[in-house]
Amino acid sequence: MDRRFIESHHFPVDRVNEASSKEKQGGGRPPYWEMVFWWTRKPLASARAVIAGALLPDSISREEFMYATRLSSVEGVPHRNNPFIPARYHDIFKQARLLDPFAGFGSIPLEAIRLGIGEVVAVELLPVAYVFLKAVLEIPKWASDRGLGEKLVEDVEEWGKWVLGQLRTDRDIQEVYDEDTAVYIGSWEIKCPHCGRYTPLIGNWWLARTYRGSSEESESEEEEEVRKGLFQRLAWMEPVRQGDTVHIRVVDLNKELGRTQVGARGCQ
């Protein structure tokens, strides 16, 4: 079997890592990622590079591969541009099949579709992830193939507003749809077999633990702030028991101290 480009020492691991790291940061992620936090979600840049590298022969140059996968530009993030596969390699991708048996939110199958893989199959048992797979992989492609892309965008916006309107009038959950709510944090609960009370299972109570105040700071400057124990933002959740229930109090140290920078030890 011919060697694939991903087996070559010319495969741009450094650039894939750089693009993936940038994509995972705020502002680099695809907008729909913000709807639900998913711990194991794979960066689209790495999914695209691995799939393309596993199919393309090692005879392709590093520069051509990086251009095809949109890894050439240091600015921005690759997923914002569709890949550009040279015409002489189209048949390789069309004849390929990809199966992702644990698809999650679909980073791998999405990039496979964008690369032009002939048959892409995504499998997922979790109901929320399955719905997202339908929304991200199937429905947009179905609408685009029929020239209904703009109509789909309008319909999603219209019905999204309708759903929010309905939720805000539901007495049981309307309080979590306040206008000033930025994000929701959910957790599993475990019921004590003796007293019957529920305890949230949370391994990390931090809401914000930010060293850098600007993305322009160098790694050495950030390391210096960490060494000194200097933070630009410190905020966490604090459980407060009231009778048989547990409420959450948000502690924002910046606001309480009236500072833009907080010195703290043992928070790394």
**Other CB atoms closer than 10 Å to residue 63's CB: what's the count?**
11
Q: How many CB atoms lie within 10 A of CB 77?
A: 22
- What element of type H or E holds 250? strand 245-252
pTM above threshold 0.75: no
Q: Does an H or E element contain 238, and which?
A: strand 233-242
> Residue 26's pLDDT band (boundaries 50, 70, 90)?
low
Higher-pLDDT residue of 187, 160: 160
Tell me the DSSP string of 87-138: GGGHHHHHT-EEEETT-TT-HHHHHHHHHT-SEEEE---SHHHHHHHIIIII
Instruction: Give the model's confidence band at 80: pLDDT under 50 very low, under 70 low, under 90 confident, else very high.
Output: confident
Q: Please, are residues 234 and 267 in contact by the beta-carbon 8 Å criterion? A: yes
Angstrom CA distances, 227 to 204, 216, 268, stand at 22, 19, 9
Please say whether the beta carbons of 106 and 136 come within 8 A.
yes
- The residue extents of the domains of the chain are 5-147, 151-179, 185-263
Kind of pairing between the strands at 97-100 and 189-191: unpaired
Cα dihedral 103, 109, 17, 128, rounded to 10, equals: -40
Nearest to 41 by CA among 52, 53, 30: 30
Q: Name the residue with higher pLDDT: 264 or 66.
A: 66
Look at residue 57 and tell me whether its pLDDT is greater than 50: yes
pLDDT score of 218 more than 70: no
Between 137 and 185, the more confident residue is: 137
Lowest mean pLDDT among 10-14, 153-157, 257-261: 257-261
Cα 188 to Cα 12: distance, rounded to the nearest angstrom:
40
| Range in 5-19, 178-192, 229-243 the model is least confident about | 178-192
pLDDT at 219: 46
Alpha helices by DSSP H, 211-263: 219-228, 253-257
- Bridge partners for 190 per DSSP: 199
- 38 exposure class (CB count in 10 Å sphere: 0-12, 13-18, 19+): middle
**Mean pLDDT, rounded, of the chain:** 84
Per-residue confidence band for 216, with pLDDT thresholds at 50, 70 and 90: very low
Report the chain's terminal Cα–Cα distance, integer Å.
Answer: 48
- Report the alpha-carbon distance of residue 163 to residue 54 in Å, rounded: 42
pLDDT at 229: 67
